[in-house]
Amino acid sequence: MFLSEPAREALRKSQNIGILTGAGISAESGIPTFRAKDGLWSKFKPEELANIQAFMRNPKLVWEWYQYRRNIITEAEPNLGHHALAQWEQQHDNFTLITQNVDGLHARAGSQNIVELHGNILRNRCLTCGNVSEIEEVNFKGTVPLCTCGGMLRPDVVWFGEMLPPEALNAAFSAAENADIFLSVGTSALVHPAASLPEIAKSSGAFLFEINLEPTPLTPYADAFLEGPSGEILPKLLTQWQTERTK
């Protein structure tokens, strides 16, 4: 894979590595991205379903969407991109993986130090008592699942208009501020505050790689734009990093 000399030098000298992933890294695992053109749910925009108002108005519809996505996710396997990041973390101390994804695939690939900015679709949270449960603990009969306290359950994810978990957001900001290389992988870089992380890294002096199928609003700021599928590019980038480290 071609890398410019500054990109190779950044890999060689990297100390603190920060990564932000989006739905694109899970696309090769068969999980539809948010802005995919096809699919049953493409007639809905995520902002129309992933918000508390839509849920309170029609909890059954929103649960159907999450159950549909959960079924795809439980069938899916991590792909070579997830595995490359898990291996990279094994080989380097200061490595922080920040994900917008709620599919849990990074953990299934073996990543340890994961910052989940938007929660996890495989957990439920009670609107009344706040109790968090795993999906196995709740039996769905196509209705809206209830907590043992009688309260209504929701997926334990961050919806539009909701605050991100403060500890996750703080960890993400500090990883971006301290990174000397930062990778934005498989995200359209549209949703804030996650989309501000690559810019924070860059303005704090990091060399910014973007790995994406197509250009995004971030691309003009990237020091290296590696266009293509993350499942192919990330393993090559890891190999390049290993090679540069031996120089």
CB of 203 to ligand BV8, least distance (A): 18
**Residues labelled catalytic:** 118
d(CA 19, CA 26): 15
Residue 147 touches Zn ion, criterion: CB under 5 A: yes
Q: Pick from 14, 100, 120, 124: which binds ligand BV8 (CB under 6 A)?
A: 100
Beta strands in the chain (DSSP E): 17-21, 95-99, 114-116, 119-126, 132-134, 153-157, 181-185, 207-212, 224-227
Residue bearing tokens 């790995």 = 211
Is residue 89 within 8 A of residue 66, CB to CB? The reply is: no
d(CA 185, CA 217): 13
d(CA 232, CA 6): 22
CB of 1 to ligand BV8, least distance (A): 14
Residue number, nearest CB to ligand BV8: 24
- Which one of Zn ion, ligand BV8, none interacts with residue 161, CB within 5 to 8 A by kind? ligand BV8
Helix/strand/coil for 3: coil
- Which one of ligand BV8, Zn ion, none interacts with residue 128, CB within 5 to 8 A by kind? Zn ion
Which structure tokens are listed for 229? 């599928």
Which structure tokens are listed for 32? 């539809």
Binding mask 200-219 for Zn ion (x = CB under 5 A): --------------------
Q: Pick from 11, 17, 50, 147: which binds ligand BV8 (CB under 6 A)?
A: 50
Cis peptide before 193 (omega within 30 of 0): yes
> How do strand 119-126 and strand 153-157 relate by DSSP bridges?
antiparallel
Instruction: Report 173-232 residues binding ligand BV8 (CB under 6 A).
Output: 186-188, 190-192, 194, 212-214, 216, 229-230
| Best CA proximity match to 102, nearest among 83, 115, 121, 86 | 121
Q: Pick from 11, 23, 109, 126: which binds Zn ion (CB under 5 A)?
A: 126
Q: Pick from 41, 68, 160, 173: which binds ligand BV8 (CB under 6 A)?
A: 160
Residues that bind ligand BV8 (CB under 6 A): 22-24, 27-28, 33-35, 46-47, 50, 100, 102, 118, 157-163, 186-188, 190-192, 194, 212-214, 216, 229-230
